[in-house]
Structure 1
């Protein structure tokens, strides 16, 4: 059964977690690496569990696994065997599920909230490239080639038993189509598709998000559509545009408002300056039903959403 529908049937809002890499760096992890946060699966998986727990305690109804940049190709470039790569990809799901289950054992953590979900992150091809192309979508690959890239990792994540797949930061419709085609090889599996956007109407490839939503609307295994890793000032407009193409639940988890330089791998500028919880309430009023945070957001931001979202 569709796990998002189960939550939204009982609750008006599903709260997602916030930035993962930001919290790892705050704990001293060096992520300046082609594997990015996925390298912590090899080096210190306990820290990954600690970040998930922080977000559950902040009020998240769902955590996203540390598999965004975890690919067979990436791990094997590092010298791992294929079997070792598989084990680390699946470890990302097991860590999140174990932390969730331990959290849920405490009756005090069950008050006025659903049992949290584990969403297995499926990052775009550009994340594996580690060159910022997930913010452009100019891969030059066909849909079939993208299906071949995503298939084995998606199969591996599905085998680990997450509640849902979080197909996120997708910059172009052809990649979304490739992912959905692979998803449909597993009829009992559900996913959300979340695009990265360049403005209030278009995803990073330049395609209209309304058209993307309209295409995804006809595919029942895609149970929510939205945007992430996008400046918060575009959220309200993007929600309106997505709603033109679908009546499925809309999810938004923007970054903090700072600008990421893919060449220097640094963040510049200031955050939006608004209370994150207040901004999130506006997105909810516009029609978003799943709300969290992406790059540079924190457990405190998620806690601010829970303040009004749990009423």
Structure 2
């Protein structure tokens, strides 16, 4: 789906209309790469696989498509030009890796379409959804804190020296490259504070960045974003930006999602997206997830119909969710649609 002269908002509304009003976002990428054997103990995190094992990224994308995902998010969350240059790569090589992240997802979509072109049913009986359907590729942009790899993406505390101009300068070239890579939209993910949302919104107004986007924030209390900034104020920033076609929450425990959807609906008429994590808390010092708070796939999926009912129209999973989670979300939404019909 191109942007061009099309109204940004129509890109998402048209997609949702073709998806029966609700679409499924994929699940955790980095944590699924780890589950399948990748060692991501590196400041590049999932972007490390762009260098070492791009075929594994493609395999995970395909797993999510076969589970029913309608939107693939690329492996560029922690892929920054600055981060690659720290590893000794040239600017040109760094930009090529950003483009590779999108190409891998586009290739996975093409392979999936080729596999299912002769299929006529939604469900083969083994849990795989092969029906040809609209699929979007969202180029992921992680926060400045993700690049720092010090846990500040979960606090939003960047210090007094970082301002809107600092963040725009940091993100600009990466966003330009991803905007021209063939992706359908940009996913600004795990945004921890209002400052970075303002920087994103201003970047999207620049003439050489011509692509729709979504803004997704994270919360640790179900009231504010993780920095303590007002959640409604962050939603309002997204709402005021013409090129933002959806706004919501990711990498947040499922128990907080209901209230966040309700408060967002008071501020915006844009589609609401939610892709929570598994409920586990990330310990940035120990670089590990605290499993004691994990929500089972069954419990996670039990929330889905209510989230949709109160206003979420794009639903998926973030860290520590798996293709099985996405398969459950897909089935829940299909059963709900069939019941209403």
Fold shared per TM-score above 0.5: yes
The match for 2:14 is 6
1:289 pairs, out of 313, 318, 324, with 313
Q: Shift of the alpha carbon at 1:201?
A: 1.4
**What are the ranges of 5 or more consecutive residues in structure 1 without an aligned counterpart?**
none
Gaps of 5+ in 2: 1-5, 123-130
* Distance in 2 of aligned mates of 1:28 and 1:72: 26
Alignment of 1:166-205 (within 5 A): 166-185=187-206, 186=208, 188-205=210-227
* TM-score normalised by L of structure 1: 0.96
Q: What residue is the counterpart of 2:173 in the other structure? A: 152
1:228 partnered with 2:245: no
Q: Is the 8 A contact 2:272 2:314 kept in 1?
A: yes
What's the secondary structure of 1:49's corresponding residue? helix
Match of 2:71 in 1: 62
SS of residue in 2 equivalent to 1:120: strand
Alpha-carbon distance in 1 for matches of 2:224, 2:293:
23
For the structure 1 residues 244 and 88, does the alpha-carbon distance in structure 2 shift closer, same or farther, using more than 3 Å as the test? same
Q: CA deviation at 1:134?
A: 0.6
CA distance in 2, matches of 1:162, 1:181: 20
The number of aligned residues is 311
2:294 to 245, 257, 271: 271
Q: In terms of Rg, which structure is larger?
A: 2
Q: Is the 8 A contact 2:304 2:332 kept in 1?
A: no
CA distance in 1, matches of 2:209, 2:146: 26
Instruction: Check the 8 A contact 2:194/2:234 in 1, yes or no.
Output: yes
What CA distance in whole angstroms lies between the structure 1 residues aligned with 2:45 and 2:54? 14
Counterpart for residue 125 of structure 2: none
Q: For 2:187 and 2:134, how far apart are their aligned partners in 1?
A: 17
2:328 partner SS: helix
How far apart in 1 are the matches of 2:243 and 2:120? 30
* 1:77 aligns with one of 64, 72, 86: 86
Aligned equivalents of 1:17, 1:23: Cα separation in 2 = 11
Report the Cα distance in structure 2 between the residues aligned to 1:176 and 1:48, rounded to whole angstroms.
28
Report the Cα offset of residue 113 of structure 1: 6.1
What residue is the counterpart of 1:302 in the other structure?
326
C-alpha distance in 1, partners of 2:184/2:265?
25
3-state SS, counterpart of residue 245 of structure 1: coil
Corresponding residue of 1:251:
273
Deviation at 1:278, TM superposition (A): 1.5
Partner Cα separation in structure 2 for residue 174 and residue 75 of structure 1? 25
